Amino acid sequence: MLKQYNCIICGHVSNQPFCHGCMSKAKQYYETILEFIKVNPDATVMEIYNSTSVPLGVIRGIIQMGWMEQSN
Ligand SMILES: [Zn+2]
């Protein structure tokens, strides 16, 4: 059974943390986070949030999407 989410950015019901329409925006946020992580590999979620001004819920959603696990 698919898990139901409300899109973190627009609130629409979706089967993932970001709906289809907000995916490109989420990727932009992800790029911003990725740039920060490159320079600060040990940064916590709070440090990412404070330094990039990406909304906390979006950061958590990106982690839920598994995008952060690609960088090691
Ligand atoms: Zn959305």
Residue 8 maps to a domain: no
Ligand 1 centroid to residue 53 C-alpha, Å: 19
**pTM of the full predicted structure?**
0.86
Ligand 1 centroid to residue 59 C-alpha, Å: 15
Residue 53 maps to a domain: yes
CB distance 50 to 37 below 8 Å: no
How many separate domains does the chain show?
1
Ligand 1 centroid to residue 67 C-alpha, Å: 17
Ligand 1 centroid to residue 33 C-alpha, Å: 19
Which residues constitute the domain of residue 27?
A: 23-70
Residue 15 maps to a domain: no
Site of tokens 């001004």: 53
Residue 34 maps to a domain: yes
Residue 66 maps to a domain: yes
Residue 18 maps to a domain: no
Residue 6 maps to a domain: no
Ligand 1 centroid to residue 10 C-alpha, Å: 4
Residue-level pLDDT, tens digit, the chain, 72 residues? 778 999 999 999 999 999 999 999 999 999 999 999 999 999 999 999 999 999 999 999 999 999 987 654
pLDDT at position 70 is 60
pLDDT at position 68 is 86
User: DSSP secondary-structure letter at 63?
Assistant: H
Residue 2 maps to a domain: no
Pairing of the two strands 5-6 and 13-14: antiparallel
